[in-house]
Structure 1
């Protein structure tokens, strides 16, 4: 059994930044990642550098058990050209947008929990400092 990994890269302009949206299908897993490319349209050399040398640094958001797994058959090159042209007109797929929004929500929730915990630790530490100061003032009376 051979494992096939399929990937797709879409460059999207969301003012004021150009963003690279990576989509990856592997067995029953779907993963998506977004990389900020700056305010100027990325040249093909920059994209090639991103894919070849910074692929390991990309943070993927994965979804398990994808209901629609892409077909791994060989596709006619002319059909691939038509699909690429259609993708350029339509832009980022809805599945990628949904996955990225879920990733953003998850990151927001974890950040909110971490901030709440840090605030509680800080308050407890300040309370202990005040109690220690209070005990020190009344020591010996």
Structure 2
């Protein structure tokens, strides 16, 4: 399992994006920190809250091959990624897909609630009509 945390400034808050890869499955979680977090605060947050994070549904990655990386090359890669600002496009795409799926779920739920409410109102009107026809 590989876990990557990217902390960046997204107006007006500092945001952390956790990317988790395991068995060719990719998951993302976004956390808002508020003011700029110190290194020890981020570390403490990870220790206390990592298992409480809600990751997106797993997305399958194609051709994810883990091979041993030379130590110097790894240092260069880490330096390059720390200089880079923002989050990866994979993470953005995954979060967008998750947001769209939740949006569809919300629409379906609200539609069923509206239909139930209309049905309830219709039944109430029918009941009132019957009461008027019966008389006293």
> What is the TM-score when the length of structure 1 is the normalising length?
0.83
> SS of the counterpart of 1:104?
helix
**1:114, distance to aligned residue in structure 2 (A):** 1.2
Q: 2:78 aligns to what?
A: 84
**Structure 1 residue 94 corresponds to structure 2 residue 89:** yes
**1:71, distance to aligned residue in structure 2 (A):** 1.1
Instruction: Measure, in 2, the Cα distance between the counterparts of 1:70 and 1:14.
Output: 32
CA RMSD of aligned residues (A): 1.9
Q: Any stretches of 5+ residues in structure 2 without a counterpart?
A: none
State the aligned residue count.
135
Q: Any stretches of 5+ residues in structure 1 without a counterpart?
A: none
Q: 1:129 aligns to what?
A: 124
- Map Cα deviations across residues 100-139 of structure 1 (whole Å, 9 max, x no partner): 1111111111111111111111111111122222222222
Closer, same or farther in 2 for the Cα pair 1:139/1:59, shift >3 Å? same
Instruction: Measure, in 2, the Cα distance between the counterparts of 1:70 and 1:34.
Output: 25
Displacement over 6 Å in runs of 4+: none
Q: 1:60 aligns to what?
A: 55
